[in-house]
Amino acid sequence: DADVTQTPRNRITKTGKRIMLECSQTKGHDRMYWYRQDPGLGLRLIYYSFDVKDINKGEISDGYSVSRQAQAKFSLSLESAIPNQTALYFCATSPSRQGSSYEQYFGPGTRLTVT
């Protein structure tokens, strides 16, 4: 079974609709992240969470919100979807070892299309 799972894998929605993307992990990591990927722009951080009570905005958080329901679950919501939110969305996790780097492990992604 995959360590980081995302649902749905593909989603087509209309402008103005509210949608939620879900992420679950079995790696036992405290830290979780949401990224979007656009051609030529690389991966950009939307939100990150260091534990259930610690949630922070990334570089492109406008138009998005998140919920950390448990250590293993981190959801991303688009309150009112717009076409320029069409992208690949990735969830990632990392360990929180004090004094070391924090390599991140990614889920398979959700391809979101807003029409």
Partner 1 sequence: EDQVTQSPEALRLQEGESSSLNCSYTVSGLRGLFWYRQDPGKGPEFLFTLYSAGEEKEKERLKATLTKKESFLHITAPKPEDSATYLCAVQAADSWGKLQFGAGTQVVVTP
- In the sheet with 4-7, reading across from the earlier edge strand, the strands are 4-7, 19-25, 73-78, 64-70
Angle at 67 between CA 114 and CA 115, to 5 degrees: 5
3-state secondary structure of 83: helix
Least CB distance from residue 16 to partner 1, whole Å?
27
Among 76, 109, 112, 114, binds partner 1 (CB under 8 A): 109
Contact pattern for partner 1 over residues 31 through 70, marking x by CB under 8 A: x--------xxxxxx--x-x-------x------------
- Inter-residue contact 48 to 56 (CB < 8 Å): yes
Stretch of 14-22, 66-74, 75-83, 95-103 contacting partner 1, by CB under 8 A? 95-103
Estimate to the nearest angstrom the gap between the alpha carbon of 11 and the chain centroid: 14
Task: Give the footprint of partner 1 on this chain (CB under 8 A).
Answer: 4, 31, 40-45, 48, 50, 58, 90, 92, 94, 96, 101-109, 111
